[in-house]
Amino acid sequence: MTSTVRTGLVPPTLRTLPEAIGANLAIARARTSARILAVVKADGYGHGAVPVARAAVAAGADWLGTTDLAEALALRAAGLTVPILTWLNPSGADAEAAAAGGIDVAVGSVGELAALVSRSTPAGVRIHLHVDTGMAREGCPAAEWDALITAAAGAQRHGQAQVVGLMGHLPLADEADPAANAPAVARLRQARTAVRAAGLGVPLTHLAATSGTLTDPSTHFGMVRFGAGLVGIDPSGTTELHGASRLTAPVVHSAAVEAGTPVGYGGTYVTTTATYLSVLPLGYADGIPREISPEACVAIHGRRHRIVGRVSMDQIVVDTGAAPVPPGTTATVFGPRDGITPTIQDWARWAGTIPHTIVTGIGARVRTSA
């Protein structure tokens, strides 16, 4: 069975992908006066980097953001012309390609900066100084800020780089508590003061991602980075956003079984009454979490039906009760909130994870429809 018929990740029926992204960006715009950078990493959070980027720009996003230079260059190749920032490149990223593509590069250490400018063009690559504001994950540690800023000022004087941005990350933004964000805000302000004192002016400063954008204006500075929110995920849980996709699959097999029938590998589930079981052709190889709670379900004909037995590599079994479901019937695994259709938030709860892992984990066999 080919990937073009086994499953589908499609825009929701009631709202297209561009409409959902536009609606979510409108919510973000109402919360901030800062510029909005639309983050389209992880292939647009599993929805396709190019279509998500196009929809975001059409809806008014000022910038785009990716993890690495290759992702950014792919957006340029697709015809997107707005400023792009990339902030997780291996040492020695191609500065010439970045400069030629008009792509900004974040640097978080003196070593990263030295490797980048060693390959810089005479015009210099545009850089954002990336400082650690409390994550201890990426960005320059506070003890090394002076060295990085001094090196960046030297690179700018020699025409190797243009310092145009300053960035950090909020470690506790999902708590939706400005008090929790205050230490990171203070650190970034301190870094901005040091950059200004080094004669580098006041670069475009940005700290907040989706949660900060939606909950705390003090974190917004000159720009916010809105990524998960584009596709309907609010990690803070404070704002109802619009789901941007619907995952569907056809029923490929349906059968009547008696009470006491073991289902799936290991027979971990046994039917308690006579019922009908339907098979959907997707499983953990397609991004369906293997460990899910007994509540996990799909929607068929406007009703929820439980998934029973273990999730297999490429199959799940659904108990449809007293009514048989003909092969070819469409089941909806997740989609926008409508009171019946499971959402990515439901799936995250059933799998004990976060919505991000649900949408970014969809496998390559799933066909994406425009």
Binding-site residue positions for substrate: 137, 313
Strand partners, 291: none
Residue 219 phi/psi, 5-degree rounding, is -95, 0
Annotated binding site: 137, 313
Q: Is 265 labeled as catalytic in the residue annotation?
A: yes
Q: Active-site residue among 41, 45, 269, 284? A: 41
Q: Tell me how far CA of residue 335 lies from CA of 251, 354, 358, in angstroms.
A: 17, 16, 12
Q: Is 41 labeled as catalytic in the residue annotation?
A: yes
User: What span, in angstroms and rounded, lies between the C-alpha atoms of 263 and 317?
Assistant: 8
Do the Cβ atoms of 303 and 258 come closer than 8 Å? Answer: no
CB atoms within 10 A of CB 326: 8
Residue 150 phi/psi, 5-degree rounding, is -65, -45
Helices assigned H by DSSP within 145-177 = 145-157
Question: Max alpha carbon distance in the chain (Å)?
Answer: 79
With CA atoms as reference, report the closest residue to 200 among 150, 275, 136, 274. 150
Do the Cβ atoms of 16 and 213 come closer than 8 Å? Answer: no
With CA atoms as reference, report the closest residue to 101 among 68, 62, 130. 68
The catalytic site residues sit at 41, 265
